[in-house]
């Protein structure tokens, strides 16, 4: 579909900037769009805090000008507030730990991007996500993990529909981060060495508790007690929103052996703590499951972004619920987080962890960094090759 108009979500970072450049070089008619997600853009956000600062918009505009593409800013503050920030607040007040980046990708970056792209005459949308889309023998679009396992972002995208996948492009799916920075430097983009966003963009200084307390009414805050595995009270606390499964610091318990949050009872305000071994779980329930492919009864399941997918059995339950049984127990399976199902590299579905059955302990390890080489030519070639198969789609 070279020549087709594509709307590219541009955050002002290096990834989305290079995505726009690669699409332009592949012959697409590129339109850059930044999304204003805060009621007022931040003027003094730390590097790495997140997106949506005035500096990010300036960077995106400078990149668009250098690439010679049209550029717009869309005000999405209201849908972002209701569909992401309000849900984030409510989930913490329920004793759950939300995944705002998953919600944002589904509800804002794709649903809103698609809803508005038509007004610009676009047939396609694209982002700087590290993920791949392949066309199957059945003609359907398949979401795959990125070639670079260390940067893979497929976990955040399980909510996409077949229709969205078919008309979406991920130009960075075949590249490493080093490749992307090398391409940006070759193009003379100022953002080539810009730090990555590492934090939730709407929570200042990572103070989740303070953020929620400023938004919640007094009646919504649920104070209670911290209890040990034997049920004995260890301390009082000011609200369950201050805790998450697996948390070790800030428990207010003084010294002694390390203790972790192993359970949160929202109704009573009780926070249960115990040894690390008590965080292990083998069985949990996933609700609001969305399938991108035909449902399966075995898959590798990822329970958070940095979790290595682990083999599991999937049992269909009433409605859109699935019971997951890991072959080996996993640590800190957390209600409110997304569980994503993989068959090989393909994302076949996912949903939201609702309830967890405790089990016994376990352990884990990490991937190697890419080795730099002749990156620019190779990176461009791999990205263009990935874009080429969709020429008929």
Are both 330 and 190 inside the same structural domain? Answer: no
In this predicted structure, what is the pLDDT of residue 39? 64
Structure confidence by residue, pLDDT tens digits, 331-376: 999 999 999 999 999 999 999 999 998 864 333 333 333 434 444 5
Are both 89 and 191 inside the same structural domain? Answer: yes
β-strands 5-9, 346-358 pairing? unpaired
Are both 223 and 239 inside the same structural domain? Answer: yes
Are both 39 and 166 inside the same structural domain? Answer: yes
In this predicted structure, what is the pLDDT of residue 205? 77
Are both 158 and 142 inside the same structural domain? Answer: yes
Identify whether 363 is part of a domain: no
SS3 letters across 169-193: ECCCCCCCHHHHHHHHHHCCCHHHH
Catalytic site residue from 51, 104, 186, 343: 104
CATH number at residue 184: 3.40.50.620
Identify whether 365 is part of a domain: no
Are both 272 and 296 inside the same structural domain? Answer: no
* pTM of the entire predicted model: 0.86
Are both 248 and 139 inside the same structural domain? Answer: no
**pLDDT mean for each 10 residues of the chain (393 residues):** 88 96 97 85 46 82 97 93 94 94 90 88 95 88 95 96 92 96 96 82 83 89 93 94 93 85 94 95 96 96 94 95 96 96 97 85 36 49 56 41
Identify whether 370 is part of a domain: no
Number of domains in the chain: 3
Instruction: Let me know: does 342 contact 304? Beta carbons within 8 Å.
Output: no
Catalytic site residue from 51, 52, 201, 343: 201
Identify whether 371 is part of a domain: no
Cα–chain center distance at 366: 19
Are both 15 and 137 inside the same structural domain? Answer: yes
Identify whether 213 is part of a domain: no
- CB burial of residue 368 (10 Å; 0-12, 13-18, 19+): exposed
Domain encompassing residue 134: 5-204+376-391
Are both 285 and 261 inside the same structural domain? Answer: no
End position of a domain, from candidates 252, 277, 302 = 277
CATH number at residue 243: 2.30.30.280
Q: Tokens 């090398």 label which residue?
A: 182
Mark whether 104 is an active-site residue.
Answer: yes
C-alpha span between 392 and 384 (Å, rounded): 15
Structure confidence by residue, pLDDT tens digits, 81-126: 999 999 999 999 999 999 998 999 988 988 888 889 988 999 999 9
**What letter does residue 266 receive in the DSSP assignment?**
T
């Amino acid at each position: 579909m070279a020549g087709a108009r594509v709307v590219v979500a541009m955050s002002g970072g290096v990834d989305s900037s290079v995505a726009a450049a690669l699409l332009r070089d592949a012959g697409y008619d590129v339109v850059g769009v930044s999304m204003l997600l805060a009621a007022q853009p931040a003027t003094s956000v730390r590097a790495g805090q997140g997106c949506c600062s005035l500096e990010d918009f300036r960077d995106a505009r400078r990149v668009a000008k250098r690439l010679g593409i049209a550029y717009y800013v869309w005000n999405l503050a209201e849908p972002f507030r209701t569909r992401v920030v309000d849900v984030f607040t409510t989930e913490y007040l329920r004793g759950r730990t939300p995944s705002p980046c998953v919600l944002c990708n589904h509800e804002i970056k794709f649903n809103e991007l698609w809803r508005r792209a038509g007004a610009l005459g676009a047939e396609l949308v694209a982002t700087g996500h590290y993920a791949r889309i392949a066309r199957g023998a059945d003609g359907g679009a398949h979401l795959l993990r990125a070639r670079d396992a260390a940067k893979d972002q497929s976990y955040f995208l399980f909510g996409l529909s077949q229709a969205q996948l078919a008309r979406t492009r991920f130009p960075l799916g075949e590249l490493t981060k080093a490749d992307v920075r090398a391409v940006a430097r070759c193009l003379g983009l100022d953002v080539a060495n810009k730090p990555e966003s590492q934090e939730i963009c709407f929570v200042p200084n990572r103070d989740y508790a303070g953020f929620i307390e400023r938004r919640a009414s007094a009646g919504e805050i649920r104070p209670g007690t911290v209890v040990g595995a034997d049920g004995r009270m260890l301390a009082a606390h000011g609200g369950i929103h201050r805790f998450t499964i697996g948390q070790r610091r800030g428990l207010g318990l003084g010294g002694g052996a390390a203790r972790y949050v192993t359970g949160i009872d929202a109704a009573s305000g009780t926070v249960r703590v115990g040894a690390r071994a008590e965080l292990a779980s083998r069985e949990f329930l996933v609700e609001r499951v969305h399938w991108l492919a035909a449902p399966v009864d075995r898959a590798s399941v990822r329970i958070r972004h940095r979790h290595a997918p682990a083999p599991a059995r999937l049992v269909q339950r009433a409605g859109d619920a699935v019971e997951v049984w890991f072959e080996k127990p996993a640590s800190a399976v957390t209600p409110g987080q997304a569980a994503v199902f993989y068959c090989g590299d393909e994302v076949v579905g996912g949903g939201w962890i609702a309830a967890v059955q405790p089990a016994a302990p376990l352990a884990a390890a990490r991937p190697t960094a890419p080795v730099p080489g002749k990156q620019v030519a190779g990176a461009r070639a791999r990205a263009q090759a990935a874009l080429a198969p969709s020429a008929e789609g």
